[in-house]
Structure 1
Amino acid sequence: MKVIIASSSKCGTKTLRKCFEILGYSVADFDHHAYNHYNEWKNIFEYVSRREQLHEMYRDIDVVTGAPAFYYWEEIAEAFPNAKVILTTRKDEITWYRSLSREIPKCHNSWTVAFCYLLTPTGIRLRHHFDRLVRVVHGIKEWGLFSKYDWSNQEVLIKRYREHNTGVLSRCRKERLLIFHFCEGWERLCAFLGEEIPDEPFPHVNERGQLAMSMWVLPVYVRMMREAFVVMAIIAILIALVLQLH
């Protein structure tokens, strides 16, 4: 483990992920946490964080980012004492809240996702993981059969966001922490990492809410959709058989 991205969701974490991929780092993001370490995160959510467990989970990964890893940045930092920490924020709390409450529901509160979350093996795992994640990280609960989430509680969400950022700034050693602004580009990031500046433009990912579209190209969501097609085919066959019997 070389870098822990302690930034909350909707704070440019997808851009940072792309930066590290360009630099040749292996990156574990939300999809990796949810699928590859489902049982481990279940234990961490329901009991206590274990430094040894986190070390075993991410010892072969260069960078962790995304939920729920950002929320457990301190425990991961203890497991990897030589890892550096990066924090990015939005220009103000209201801007962050509006982005979160607008974009995250697009990813999860749709009939397509609800069908997958209810009837596919991968979708069921993702739904259970996300249910625990939003409860622990954001302080909100799911409601209804299809795990809809209420993102309207601005006060609670902003309080969690503020406390998280304050905690990183106050508890992370200054020589270990980079407070990064995207306008600083490759120069500041590579200087902190001790890397050569790549011969590529600095990326900008998920601008103006492309998250809901981009998630469907992630391997775990591709797998979920393939399973959904299989489930729909089985349902169609069963319906055809029932109709023939009548």
Structure 2
Amino acid sequence: MKIIVASMLKSGTQTIRNCLEILGYTVVDYDYHAFVDRDEWKKIMMYGSEKGQFYKMYKDIDAVCGSPAYHYWKEIVAEFPDAKVILTTRDEEEWLKSYENYFARMHSSWTDAVTHNFTPTGRKVQHHFREIGRLIFSCPQQRMFKRMVQPNRQLMKRRYREHVADVLANCEREKFLHLTFSDGWEPLCSFLGKDIPNQPFPHENQKGSLAVSKWQSDTFGALKTELNYIIAIILVITCFCVQFLIF
């Protein structure tokens, strides 16, 4: 583990992930946490992390970002004391609007609704994300087939301020970069000791586009494959029943 991105969701995490991948790092994000390390995160969110647990999870990874890893940045640093920490921030009102827009687009997606409720993996992933909401934003426990309830705006902004203040106050200065995207490649590459790439600085997930584009990824595409199998089984059973009734 070389890099820990301590940025909250909707603070440019997709942009920094893309930057790090361009620079040659292997990065795990929220989708990896939800699909690959979901069982480990379930134990961590319920009971806390154990010594050596994060080392075992990330010893072969270059960088980690996304929910819920950023919430445990201190614990991960303790397992990887030589790792560098990157924080990206934005105006809290802009952050909140972006967060709300992201979840509004998710809730308006029939693909999300169907796959998260009618596939075995989808239900587990939805439970994972709801546990994150409970842990970080004190979202109430909810039943399946119900839309995720967001916490009140005051609480969300407070949690955002608290997290940013915690990172700024407690991270070792020599291993820390408070990155501003408008500065482009130079501060990031200088901090990591990398040459500046011969391509424009990226900007990902504008206006919550991740809520739609995520279905193009192999990770979330697995849910669509699972759903297709279920639909095929239902169609076969339906055809069999129709033929039985006719004949």
TM-score bracket, shorter-length normalisation:
over 0.9
| Structure 2 length-normalised TM | 0.94
What is the distance in 2 between the residues matched to 1:36 and 1:166?
A: 30
Corresponding residue number in structure 2 for 1:31: 31
Q: SS of the counterpart of 1:208?
A: helix
Superposition deviation, residue 236 in structure 1: 1.5
Q: How far has the Cα of 1:37 moved from its partner?
A: 0.6
> Displacement, 1:158?
1.0
> Contact between 1:109 and 1:148, CA under 8 Å: does it hold in 2?
no
Shift of 1:195: 0.9
Q: CA deviation at 1:147?
A: 4.1
Deviation at 1:54, TM superposition (A): 0.6
Partners of 1:214 and 1:170 in 2: CA distance: 35
Give the corresponding residue for 1:12. 12
* Pairing 1:134–2:133 present: yes
Query: What secondary structure sits across from 2:4 in the alignment?
Result: strand
**Partners in 2 of 1:152 and 1:6 — Cα distance?**
21
Report the Cα offset of residue 72 of structure 1. Answer: 0.8
Q: Tell me the SS of whatever aligns to 1:196.
A: coil
Note the residue ranges of structure 1 that are not aligned, 5 or more in a row. none
Letter in 1 for 2:142: W
Q: Summarize the Cα distance change of 1:110–1:152 in structure 2 as closer, same or farther, 3 Å threshold.
A: farther
**Structure 1 residues 108 and 66: CA distance shift in structure 2, 3 A:** farther
Identity of aligned residues (%): 43
In structure 1, the residue matched to 2:202 is 203
Partner deviation per Cα, 1:107-155 (whole Å, 9 max, x = no partner): 3564322221222232122112112111112221353432412225101
Asked if the contact 1:107–1:211 (Cα under 8 Å) also holds between the matched residues in 2, the reply is: no
Q: Residue 111 of structure 2: SS of its match in structure 1?
A: helix
Quote the Cα distance in structure 2 between the aligned partners of 1:109 and 1:147.
13
Structure 1 match to 2:114: 115
**Secondary structure of 1:179's partner?**
strand
C-alpha distance in 1 between matches for 2:214 and 2:58: 22
Letter in 1 for 2:42: K
CA contact under 8 A between 1:142 and 1:148: conserved in structure 2?
no
